[in-house]
Amino acid sequence: MRPVVTSFLTGNWPHLPGTGSKDLGSRYATVLAATLARFAPQADFVLWTDRTADELPGIDCRPIPALPGWFGSIYQFAPEAFPEGTRILSMDLDTAVIGDLTPFLEVPLDKLVGIGDTGNAVRGQLCNGIMSWEAGPRYWPIWNNFKHNVGRPPPFDSPVGRITTDEAWLRWHVKSAWVSWAKLLPRMSRSYKNEVLRGNKTVDDGARIIYFHGNPRPHTVAESWNPHRT
């Protein structure tokens, strides 16, 4: 069974005034698909989206339930999303893939793998900008316990109170059963904002993924390694 790299795109994300942001989201998807074809040819790319295949030619576009903003990420855990046993590598669209992703497609999946630190208030907590897991009943409750919220706006009720982010929902379900990319694949993924821009770390030959999680957005970063640059 081939592994799957997946992402999602809905609405007019990334909501940048004066940029024609719906087209910008489609552009991010097109760039990500092209870089995955180069650096992860052994995997299929699936985009969960409200766009049509005609709007994004060459991309496997699949419909997603009506979910607000980033909560679309939760649908990736639905029983019907992927066949049981599929290796999934999920990443946000504002991600720069700059090297061979084979190591990311071969890590052990006895635990969910995610970003362990994007800095500031989320230090040491699971962040979902890049995740990997094996599709199956272990993770189906993440969606099954949430799906009654389809069509509603946040905040949503949860056993830990009202939540406004998909990461809060994910953390409650996964608890401590996860491991960070930094532990499994040191230096292969980096935060542009907190490690490169603020931390003065270089994007060296060992880096495979640079993730942006907010501002600056990838299309504004004019670095030679960045496939999103304008």
Structural domains in the chain plus CATH codes:
4-184 (3.90.550.10)
Report how far residue 1's alpha carbon sits from residue 5's, in angstroms, rounded to the nearest whole number. Answer: 13
Predicted confidence at residue 115, as pLDDT, reads 94
CB half-sphere exposure, 88, CA atoms < 13 A: 30
Nearest Cα neighbor of 7 from 52, 72, 65 is: 72
Which segments in the chain show pLDDT lower than 50? Answer: 20, 120-121
- Residue 21 sits at the vertex; the CA angle it makes with 19 and 22, to the nearest 5 degrees, is 140
Predicted confidence at residue 121, as pLDDT, reads 46
Whether pTM > 0.75 for this model: the answer is: yes
Predicted confidence at residue 119, as pLDDT, reads 52
CA distances to 13, 100, 158, 165 from 147, rounded to whole Å, are: 22, 35, 12, 15
Predicted confidence at residue 219, as pLDDT, reads 92
Report how far residue 89's alpha carbon sits from residue 122's, in angstroms, rounded to the nearest whole number. Answer: 21
Predicted confidence at residue 16, as pLDDT, reads 60
